[in-house]
Amino acid sequence: MQPFSKKQVLVAGVILAVCIGIGVFAFVVLRQTPEPAPIEIVEQEVSWPQRELIGTSVQGRNITAYTYGEGNTHLTFIGGIHGGYEWNTVILAYMFLDYFEQNSEVIPENIAVSIIPNANPDGVYKIIGKEGRFGMADVPPGDASSGRFNANDVDLNRNFDCQWQPESMWRGDIVSAGTAPFSEPEARAIRDFVLEKEPDAVIFWHSQANAVYASQCKEDIFPETLDIMQAYATAANYQAVQEFDAYEITGPAEGWLAAIGIPALTVELQTHETIEWERNLAGIKALFDYYGKE
């Protein structure tokens, strides 16, 4: 084996020096580079209400549910199923949207509240001529009874699966109840929402009987339904009525709810023009007291 030449020794020395230099540089840089800070996971606060499109009307207008809170007990309130004929129930429902958005602390922790302010937007539009929110100043004078029905001229509160018939009654008049239970998209929107969310109770705002009615469909009224009827009626100063008997009704929404085991109430405002905010706020708070104890 021949000895290395001076040139080879010099080259090897240079390479060794470069390697040592690189190692020292890397060591110094790595020591000076701070470790990355741990990732902090921040839970974002839920913004209420949670808005959900639950269906559309015959003419394609949105039917929307707004939910506040996330408790296991779920209460649902529905306005405007009789459209522009009962426009005051829609305004009342929207007022509750504003109230809960500003006063969410009044809802007990174990309760979630859903509001469907306008279950018949085509009927509302027929009278008001406006989509979305409106005020009392937007309501024209005159007879609003044609706005009771949807765009297919069906009474939606006769289109549910509780002793349904193709024709039903309103006052002394025969009205269309659709071609089958849930033939109307508005009724299907309520049905699908209820079946998905499984609320513990459902309250419909109507007008103008100045009373709170219990619900049933063939079977006896649930004791819980009687309890919440009395609680709401007493707090809101409405008459409590177990059964509507002025004339025969088939296919009502609240009756269908009773048929599937969900307590339901019909809250009838005193007139077609009054909102009765304080009365219904007291009624809702009475339900919070009732269900908040569970």
Q: What CATH number should be reported for the domain holding residue 112?
A: 3.40.630.10
**pLDDT for the residue 19:** 47
Q: What is the chain's alpha carbon radius of gyration, rounded to the nearest angstrom?
A: 32
Contact status, residue 189 vs residue 53, Cβ threshold 8 Å:
no
Strands 167-170 and 111-116, by their bridges, are: unpaired
Identify the band that residue 10 occupies on the pLDDT scale cut at 50, 70 and 90. Answer: low
**pLDDT for the residue 210:** 97
* Weakest mean pLDDT among 21-35, 225-239, 251-265: 21-35
Q: Note whether residue 13 is domain-resident.
A: no
Q: Note whether residue 42 is domain-resident.
A: no
pLDDT more than 70, % of the chain: 84
Identify the band that residue 243 occupies on the pLDDT scale cut at 50, 70 and 90. Answer: confident
**pLDDT for the residue 15:** 53
- pLDDT at residue 152 greater than cutoff 70: yes
Contact status, residue 127 vs residue 76, Cβ threshold 8 Å:
no
Task: Indicate the pTM of the whole model.
Answer: 0.85
- pLDDT at residue 134 greater than cutoff 60: yes
**pLDDT for the residue 6:** 52
- pLDDT at residue 5 greater than cutoff 80: no
Query: What is the total count of domains within the chain?
Result: 1
**pLDDT for the residue 24:** 44
- pLDDT at residue 14 greater than cutoff 60: no
* Weakest mean pLDDT among 33-42, 55-64, 273-282: 33-42
Q: Which residues contact 18 (CB under 8 A, 6 or more apart)?
A: none
Q: Note whether residue 45 is domain-resident.
A: no
Contact status, residue 113 vs residue 68, Cβ threshold 8 Å:
yes
Q: Note whether residue 17 is domain-resident.
A: no
Dihedrals φ, ψ of 52, to 5°? -140, 125
> Region 13-40: what's the mean pLDDT?
50
> Region 124-129: what's the mean pLDDT?
98
> Tokens at residue 245, please?
């008997």
Contact status, residue 123 vs residue 214, Cβ threshold 8 Å:
no
Q: Note whether residue 59 is domain-resident.
A: yes
User: Mind listing the pLDDT tens digit for each residue in 67-105?
Assistant: 999 999 999 999 999 999 999 999 999 999 999 999 999
User: Mind listing the pLDDT tens digit for each residue in 173-194?
Assistant: 999 999 999 999 999 999 999 9
Give the chain's length: 294
> Region 35-56: what's the mean pLDDT?
72
3-state secondary structure of 254: helix
DSSP for 138-203, please give it.
Answer: GPPSS--GGGGS-TTSB-GGG-SSSS--SEEEETTEEEE--SSTT-SHHHHHHHHHHHHH--SEEE
**pLDDT for the residue 102:** 95
Q: Note whether residue 14 is domain-resident.
A: no
Q: Note whether residue 4 is domain-resident.
A: no
Task: Using alpha carbons, list the distances in angstroms from residue 69 to 113, 115, 237.
Answer: 6, 12, 27
**pLDDT for the residue 48:** 84
Which range marks the domain in which residue 244 is found? 50-292
Q: How far is CA 139 from the centre of its chain?
A: 25
Q: Note whether residue 44 is domain-resident.
A: no
- pLDDT at residue 29 greater than cutoff 50: no
Dihedrals φ, ψ of 136, to 5°? -65, -30
Task: Using alpha carbons, list the distances in angstroms from residue 161 to 116, 179, 257.
Answer: 20, 12, 9
